[in-house]
Chains A and B, each alone.
Chain A
Amino acid sequence: DTAVSQTPKYLVTQMGNDKSIKCEQNLGHDTMYWYKQDSKKFLKIMFSYNNKELIINETVPNRFSPKSPDKAHLNLHINSLELGDSAVYFCASSQGQGRWQYFGPGTRLTVT
């Protein structure tokens, strides 16, 4: 059983489009995160949700909007995609905030 899953694994789209990435965890965790990993492998936290409540909202363009329908799901919607949005996006979850985090396999987004 996959602990943290993301769909899709790959996403290729054109500038200006809107796209969503879905994340689900079956670990019973109460906190979920979105990270962006750029081409230099630098990992940066974007958002954190605890019990469906937004906890961390780092300096991210408001084109990015997370949505947590329940504790097991955290989706990321991106409007008006730009070239600079090309990266690998990771979802993660933990029990409690900031501690042992389990990462999903990542979604490679390519904007052309």
Chain B
Amino acid sequence: QQQVKQSPQSLIVQKGGISIINCAYENTAFDYFPWYQQFPGKGPALLIAIRPDVSEKKEGRFTISFNKSAKQFSLHIMDSQPGDSATYFCAATNTGNQFYFGTGTSLTVIP
């Protein structure tokens, strides 16, 4: 049973465009929602994270939008660059030590 559902599986965006990746969860006990970025041959690296008491968090070109009532959250990458091409994972966790990753989104930014 997939605890965190992520879409799309793959995404192709033109340079300068906006990349949007969506995630949904069911377990309302989750209280921390990180996003990870993984380049080929590397381990995932934390990109940005949000707690459910905040509806939006922005760090540079990366923004998380969080909709608690819908149990959905999304990553927006503004002004996407070829260097952003990577696999992105959303995740959800809680203090009960449950930790689940989404299935990943392969992002390709075309120059």
Contact = CB atoms under 8 A, between A and B. Distances in A.
Q: Do A and B bind each other?
A: yes
Interface of A: 4, 33, 40-45, 48, 55-56, 90, 92, 97-106
Interface residues of B, number: 24
A94 B104 CA distance: 21
A41 B106 CA distance: 10
A98 B44 contact: no
Interface string B34-46: 1010100111111
Interface of B: 32, 34, 36, 38, 41-46, 49, 87, 89, 93-95, 97-101, 103-104, 106
A98 B95 contact: yes
A66 to B, nearest CB: 15
A98 B99 CA distance: 6
A111 B74 CA distance: 37
Contacts of B106: 41
A97 B44 contact: no
